[in-house]
């Protein structure tokens, strides 16, 4: 059996009297396409913060490819292959697309502040940047200023940065947030083009997006995992529909792929 790419074991985190995560255990095997859903306030953001190292759990363990990283900082987890995108665009608007990716890759390789780095090292970084741009079919954006491209394209640039960091596990935190519905298919196509061996955990509210992306789903409610299973199994569960629909509304649960 494969060693899980990412494993959370009995994670607990509270803020005062509020229990944000309660005994959360989750496994992602290499190549997984897994979605985490749940109503607002369910604890999804807290869980992502715990997995990425922004927050420390009060108890429980986090393992990357079998290694205990529970106490490691976010930058160490990135170097081990755990990369995260954010709900809100976090790019340098006045720089070009290529410059944004170049800075991220240089930082990850420990050369961003090295003024005397060898020319061949610089070339290696540039080649890595152009490679991910082509993988996501946005090479034509390389020299454009970020502020001049559409928001949906900016989210693709963030995905390119994540991919340039050579992830083994990718956490996508509501990647479709703010993207017009007419552009979501572009993002989905980009995600589908990612290497098959990368384990991806997507946090998402849009059920059409989840249906198109995931092969398995976990539902988080009040800090606890209520159910994990195949997409249809989870979404067709009477209990899950009752809990989830009560928070986000029937229209958000429509699984008609023509709406994506």
Q: Tens digit of pLDDT for each residue in 181-212? A: 887 888 888 898 888 999 999 998 778 889 99
Q: DSSP per residue over 24-54, as a string?
A: EEEEE-TT-EEEEE--TTSSHHHHHHHHHTS
Which whole number is the average pLDDT over 6-33?
Answer: 96
Residues 66-124 have pLDDT tens digits of: 999 999 999 899 989 999 987 666 789 999 999 999 988 787 766 654 544 554 567 88
**CA 86 to the chain's CA centroid:** 7
| pLDDT for res 256 | 41
Question: Rounded to two decimals, what is the model's pTM?
Answer: 0.84
Question: Considering the domain 1-81+167-260, what is its CATH architecture?
Answer: 3-Layer(aba) Sandwich (3.40)
Q: How far is CA 205 from CA 74, 171, 208, 219, 249, in A?
A: 25, 15, 9, 11, 11
Element (H, E) at 244: helix 238-248
pLDDT top residue among 204 and 249: 204
Of 30-44, 128-142, 246-260, the range with the lowest mean pLDDT is 246-260
Domain borders along the chain are 1-81+167-260, 90-165
């Amino acid at each position: 059996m494969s060693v899980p790419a990412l494993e959370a074991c009995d994670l607990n985190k509270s803020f005062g009297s509020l229990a944000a995560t309660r005994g959360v255990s989750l496994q992602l095997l290499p190549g997984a396409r897994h979605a985490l859903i749940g109503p607002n306030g369910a604890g999804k953001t807290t869980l992502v913060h715990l997995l990425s190292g922004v927050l420390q759990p009060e108890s429980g363990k986090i393992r990357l490819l079998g290694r205990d990283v529970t106490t490691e900082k976010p930058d160490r987890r990135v170097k081990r292959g755990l990369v995260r995108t954010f709900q809100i665009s976090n790019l340098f608007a006045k720089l070009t697309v290529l410059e944004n990716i170049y800075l991220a890759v240089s930082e990850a390789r420990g050369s961003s502040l090295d003024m005397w780095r060898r020319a061949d090292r610089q070339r290696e970084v540039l080649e890595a940047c152009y490679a991910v741009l082509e993988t996501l079919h946005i090479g034509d954006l390389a020299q454009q200023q970020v502020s001049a491209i559409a928001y949906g394209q900016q989210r693709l640039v963030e995905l390119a940065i994540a991919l340039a960091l050579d992830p083994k596990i990718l956490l996508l935190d509501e990647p479709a947030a703010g993207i017009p519905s007419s552009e979501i298919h572009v993002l989905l196509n980009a995600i589908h083009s990612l290497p098959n061996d990368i384990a991806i955990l997507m946090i998402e509210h849009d059920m059409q997006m989840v249906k198109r992306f995931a092969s398995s789903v976990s539902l988080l409610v009040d800090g606890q995992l209520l159910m994990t299973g195949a997409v249809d199994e989870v979404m067709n569960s009477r209990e899950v529909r009752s809990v989830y629909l009560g928070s986000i509304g029937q229209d958000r649960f429509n699984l008609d792929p023509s709406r994506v």
